[in-house]
């Protein structure tokens, strides 16, 4: 793949409307384009990253036994009237009328619709638990959309829902998602901390927000630093083990501003361990019992012949927001260097030849390297433009391809200048490069 043939509309300068680094970088490298306030088109580079994130999210949902389905973006107002949220949701809900004058809406979330699907087919406790999820666009008419795709109106979300027979089983489901979230964010090379959260308009009694630290984050957080040292490895998908995992985290004070209590913070956390900072919410999990199953009448037959409303939880991940969140965590604004985690990088290697009109040799070498990498399942891109070397390197530093192969004037023989973005180059053979990159990929 030649960059001259790709659709990567790079801007020379930072767009002035962007206030935070992820928004700047995404516009600058042509990942997204605003189509109207808080609504974006995803251009090839941005779309590729988002799709890779989606794939990881999906794999980790499947690993805990959740089943994927797909609900529509447009919903009928009927079920929202049943739950009582049609009024409550207020102006954030985009309401639409069809040609028959029926009240429809663009889904901001899916508790009602999934409950309706559940109640129409599951009647017995024998079919529980059920963990269902979809990855679908949502619309929330945010009062102040801002920061690009971080707080926009149309966004891509993974939302999962659990259905259980009683609280004990429901907590087990909750904890499965708790684990899957830790695993998901780890594969994205993010440190996401589960924090006790307010349950907000979704309601209920148990909730965690998964927050990554960032100065530009909108959530204020108060935490015990030692929570960063908790090791989430080695826990099995089994009741006791998952409860232990959650307890490991809950030992430490970690809350967002809605739950913050100064006295409690000072009592529970010694001075040297206190951290007050900001973060980005990338995921949110809730347990809310029969909050929706009761008004929507989703009940199952119990072993003794009685009937009861199912106990539900819901579990969201901001798939599109994560693209920006990773940039906030990884982009060095001062040096203008981005390095995508290998697991979601838009390309894994950039092949950067110095191209000379009268001499094709570097471009030929680049083509051969490309073929070799491609045969080894390594996704690379060749910069075939006639720009000078340093501007090419700068461009890829910005795009954030994690590794670069430089073919300059002196490029001769079997060794190539190979460098990790932002670091010094090393001379390696193509076999050594392939081996190294393959090893990096296997780590994810
Ligand atoms: P926030 O507190 O940021 O407004 P929320 O609590 O309203 O989010 P949830 O209902 O918990 O959001 O949605 C699940 C996830 O969807 C959030 O953790 C976040 O990552 C993402 N998300 C929510 N609102 C937006 C938005 N306006 N733009 C992009 N992503 C969003
Ligand atoms: Mg939330």
Cα of 285 from ligand 1 centre, angstroms: 11
The stretch 148-158 carries a mean pLDDT of 98
**What pTM value is reported for the model?**
0.96
Q: Within a 13 Å sphere around the CA of 83, how many CA atoms are in the beta-carbon half?
A: 23
Following DSSP, what letter does each residue of 70-133 receive, concatenated?
Answer: ---SEEEHHHHHHHTHHHHTGGGSEEEE-TT--EEEE-S--HHHHHHHHHHH--BGGG--EEEE
Indicate whether 408 pLDDT > 90.
no
pLDDT for 204: 54
> φ, ψ for residue 323 (rounded to 5)?
-60, -50
Nearest Cα residue to 132 out of 145, 122, 144: 122
Residue recorded with tokens 């009062």: 143
DSSP code for 357 = T
- List, chain by chain if needed, residues with CB within 6 Å of any ligand 1 atom: 109, 140, 142, 151-152, 155, 157, 281-284, 316, 318, 321
pLDDT for 224: 97
Tokens of 409: 């004037």
pLDDT in tens, 225-246: 999 999 989 899 999 999 999 9
The stretch 117-137 carries a mean pLDDT of 97
> Which residues have CB atoms below 5 A from the ion given as ligand 2?
284
Residue whose Cα lies nearest atom 31 of ligand 1: it is 318
> φ, ψ for residue 236 (rounded to 5)?
-95, 160
Nearest Cα residue to 17 out of 141, 156, 145, 153: 145
Q: How many angstroms separate the Cα of 197 from the Cα of each of 209, 249, 250, 253, 274?
A: 6, 13, 12, 12, 18
- Using only the alpha carbons of the chain, give its radius of gyration: 24
Residue whose Cα lies nearest atom 23 of ligand 1: it is 318
The b-or-e profile of 271-281 (16+ CB within 10 A means b, else e) is eeeebeebbbb
pLDDT in tens, 9-43: 999 998 999 999 999 999 999 999 999 999 999 99
Residue recorded with tokens 């001075």: 271
- Helix (H) or strand (E) run with residue 30 in it: none
Tokens of 138: 């949502």
Tell me the pairing of strands 154-164 and 130-139: antiparallel
The stretch 143-152 carries a mean pLDDT of 96
Helical spans, DSSP H, in 202-338: 239-250, 262-268, 319-330
Per DSSP, the three-state class of 296 is coil
Indicate whether 279 pLDDT > 90.
yes
Indicate whether 76 pLDDT > 70.
yes
Tell me which of 98 and 199 has the higher pLDDT.
98
pLDDT in tens, 352-404: 999 888 888 999 999 999 999 999 999 999 999 999 999 999 999 999 999 99
Q: Which of 57, 316, 325, 326 to mutate to test the pocket of ligand 1 (most atoms within 8 A of CB)?
A: 316
Tokens of 105: 């809406």
d(CA 316, CA 433): 38
């Amino acid at each position: 793949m030649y960059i001259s043939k790709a659709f990567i509309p790079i801007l020379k300068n930072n767009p002035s409307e962007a206030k935070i680094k992820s928004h700047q970088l995404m516009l600058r490298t042509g990942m997204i384009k605003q189509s109207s306030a808080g609504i974006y088109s995803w251009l090839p580079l941005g779309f590729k990253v988002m799709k890779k994130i989606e794939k990881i999210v999906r794999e980790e949902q499947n690993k805990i036994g959740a089943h994927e389905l797909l609900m529509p973006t447009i919903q009928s107002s009927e079920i929202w009237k049943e739950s009582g949220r049609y009024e409550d949701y207020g102006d954030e809900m985009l309401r639409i009328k069809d040609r028959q004058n029926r009240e429809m809406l663009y889904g901001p979330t899916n508790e009602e619709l999934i409950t309706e699907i559940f109640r129409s087919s599951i009647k017995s406790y024998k079919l529980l638990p059920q963990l269902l999820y979809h990855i679908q666009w949502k619309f929330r008419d945010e009062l102040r959309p801002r920061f690009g795709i971080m707080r926009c109106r149309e966004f891509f979300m993974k939302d999962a829902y659990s259905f259980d027979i009683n609280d004990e089983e429901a907590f087990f489901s909750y904890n499965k998602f708790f684990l899957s979230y830790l695993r998901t964010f780890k594969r994205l090379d993010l440190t996401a901390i589960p924090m006790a959260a307010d349950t907000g308009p979704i309601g209920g009694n148990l909730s965690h927000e998964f927050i990554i630290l960032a100065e530009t984050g909108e959530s204020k957080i108060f935490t015990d630093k030692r929570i960063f040292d908790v090791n989430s490895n080695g826990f099995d998908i089994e009741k006791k083990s998952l409860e232990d995992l959650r307890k490991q985290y809950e030992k430490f004070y970690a809350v967002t501003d809605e739950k913050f209590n100064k006295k409690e913070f000072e009592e529970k956390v010694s001075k040297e361990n206190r951290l007050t900072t900001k973060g980005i919410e990338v995921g949110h999990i809730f347990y809310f019992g029969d909050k929706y199953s009761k008004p929507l009448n989703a009940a199952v037959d119990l072993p003794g012949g009685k009937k009861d409303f199912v106990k539900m939880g819901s579990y969201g991940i901001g798939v599109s927001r994560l693209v920006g969140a990773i940039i906030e965590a990884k982009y060095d604004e001062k040096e203008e260097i981005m390095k995508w985690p290998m697991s979601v990088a838009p390309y894994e290697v950039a092949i950067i030849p110095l191209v000379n009109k009268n001499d094709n040799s570097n471009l030929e070498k680049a083509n051969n390297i490309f073929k070799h990498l491609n045969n080894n399942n390594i996704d690379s891109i060749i910069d075939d433009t006639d720009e000078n070397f340093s501007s090419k390197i700068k461009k890829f530093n910005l795009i954030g391809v994690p590794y670069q192969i430089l073919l300059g004037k002196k490029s001769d023989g079997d060794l190539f200048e190979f460098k990790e973005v932002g670091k010094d180059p090393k001379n390696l053979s193509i076999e050594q490069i392939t081996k190294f990159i393959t090893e990096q990929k296997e780590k994810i």
